[in-house]
Amino acid sequence: MTTLERNTIQLTGRSFLALKDFTEEEINYLISLAEELKAQKKAHIPHRYLEGQNIALLFKKPSTRTRCAFTVACTDLGAHPEYLGKNDIQFGKKESVRDTAIVLGRMFDGIEFRGFSHELVEQLAEHSGVPVWNGLTDLYHPTQILADFLTIKEQIGHLKGVKLVFVGDGRNNVANSLLIGGAKVGMDVRICTPKALFPSKDMIDLAENAAKETNGRIMITDNIDKAVHGADVIYTDVWVSMGEEEQFEERINQLLPYQVNRNMIEKTMNESVMFLHCLPAFHDLDTQVGKEIHEKFGLTEMEVTDEIFQSKHSFVFDQAENRMHTIKAVMTATNSRN
Ligand code: CP
Ligand code: NVA
């Protein structure tokens, strides 16, 4: 029997907007389903659970992984993906979000949305009548975290009790989702960031409440030594998220001490500590932005050194691949026909 067939977890028709809305069992189920779908893909076993369906992919910000993961996932599942970029539809410009949501819901079986305000994805879910999946907003990036947890499970074997340290911009979408998602599955989550970039009180409250239910632990600190000691996973993200590009100088000044480098990895005292990054990453000068930052501020690397990015500790490309398997799981589990 497959994970889907013996499943008692009911996610049919649900949207996937934020991990705060899901239980430990539901998150673990999505990861198990992703493991099974990954094994099926590797063995060339068809898994066309969305046969004949149509999926809208709305992107108001650029994307490599999320767009490709949704597109390939749709194709493997037998659905047609329709990419709608920021200048392709009237959404919010000449037509309200509500009206757009209703129209899309009349034609599509599911909608992915990447954009700025989190309220927009909530409105889409409220009015479209079909499952809506958050492909990143300014507040959360929940499909990323499922891929991260699958990657951790593949290496460590479990999630409960894993010491996961996020270093960098502690109040960005990835940090928020890791904090809440980690608490939901009983991890020991540590957000290591300067005080000015601490997560909001609401976010910390949500995580603390979740951790109480799962015996998870939460630490928010600006103290690097304390945070990384004994870490199983060191995770970082860009210092400047999409839409905040004018803040490079301030962030570099705040976050340079939080760069993931050999010194930080040694401080973990864990020979097999994993390094994770949602990507894209500034670890060399092979990007246009990397070159511009180098000219302006003299840095050759930002949030992670190339040495660590390329090292045996790094599982960033497993993480990237796992975006596709986990997104497939989310689409399959929430699909109204399953
Ligand atoms: N990690 C991630 O979401 O990558 P993209 O921005 O390329 O989708
Ligand atoms: N925090 C980053 C994540 C990119 C996947 C951003 O929002 O740009």
Same domain, 52 and 94: yes
* Coil, strand or helix at 238: coil
Same domain, 133 and 199: no
Ligand 2 centre distance from Cα of residue 144 (Å): 10
Task: Give the closest ligand to the alpha carbon of residue 145.
Answer: 1
Of 58, 61, 66, best ligand 1 pocket probe by most atoms within 8 Å of the beta carbon: 66
Inside any domain, residue 308: yes
Q: Is the CB of 64 under 6 A from ligand 1?
A: yes
The predicted model gives 132-146 an average pLDDT of: 98
Q: Is the CB of 66 under 6 A from ligand 1?
A: yes
pTM for this entry = 0.97
| DSSP conformation letters of 18-66 | -GGGS-HHHHHHHHHHHHHHHHHHHTT----TTTT-EEEEEESS--SHH
98 is catalytic: no
The percent of residues in the chain predicted with pLDDT above 70, rounded, is 99
Q: Of 127, 283, 323, 325, which one is the catalytic site residue? A: 323
Other residues' Cβ atoms within 10 Å of the Cβ of residue 29: 21
Q: Cβ distance 167 to 224 under 8 Å? A: yes
Q: Is the CB of 144 under 6 A from ligand 1?
A: yes
Q: Cβ distance 47 to 22 under 8 Å? A: no
**279-327 pLDDT per residue, tens:** 999 999 999 999 999 999 999 999 999 999 999 999 999 999 999 999 9
Same domain, 172 and 284: yes
Same domain, 10 and 128: yes
Q: Of 123, 188, 237, 319, which one is the catalytic site residue? A: 237
Inside any domain, residue 49: yes
192 is catalytic: no
Inside any domain, residue 25: yes
Task: Give the closest ligand to the alpha carbon of residue 148.
Answer: 1
Same domain, 115 and 168: no
Inside any domain, residue 242: yes
Same domain, 167 and 306: yes
- Predicted local distance difference test score (pLDDT) of residue 2: 76
Inside any domain, residue 149: no
Ligand 2 centre distance from Cα of residue 116 (Å): 11
278 is catalytic: yes
Same domain, 205 and 113: no
Same domain, 89 and 119: yes
Where in the sequence is the domain holding 284, given as residue range(s)? 163-231+233-269+274-312
- Distance between CA atoms of residues 33 and 335, nearest Å: 13
Same domain, 9 and 123: yes
Same domain, 95 and 181: no
Same domain, 98 and 124: yes
Inside any domain, residue 154: no
- Distance between CA atoms of residues 127 and 121, nearest Å: 10
- Distance between CA atoms of residues 38 and 32, nearest Å: 10
State how beta strands 217-221 and 274-277 pair.
unpaired
CATH code for the domain in which residue 36 is found: 3.40.50.1370
Inside any domain, residue 147: no
CB within 8 Å of 276: residues ≥ 6 apart = 148, 151, 152, 233, 234, 235, 236, 315, 316, 319
Q: Cβ distance 287 to 326 under 8 Å? A: no
Inside any domain, residue 86: yes
The percent helix, strand, coil of the chain (3-state, each to 5) is 45, 15, 40
Same domain, 122 and 181: no
Nearest CA among 100, 111, 169, 173 for reference residue 136: 173
Task: Count how many domains the chain has.
Answer: 2
Q: Which amino acid is at 237?
A: D
Q: Of 141, 277, 313, 325, which one is the catalytic site residue? A: 141
**14-35 pLDDT per residue, tens:** 999 999 999 999 999 999 999 9
pLDDT class for 338, splitting at 50, 70, 90?
low
**226-276 pLDDT per residue, tens:** 999 999 999 999 999 999 999 999 999 999 999 999 999 999 999 999 999
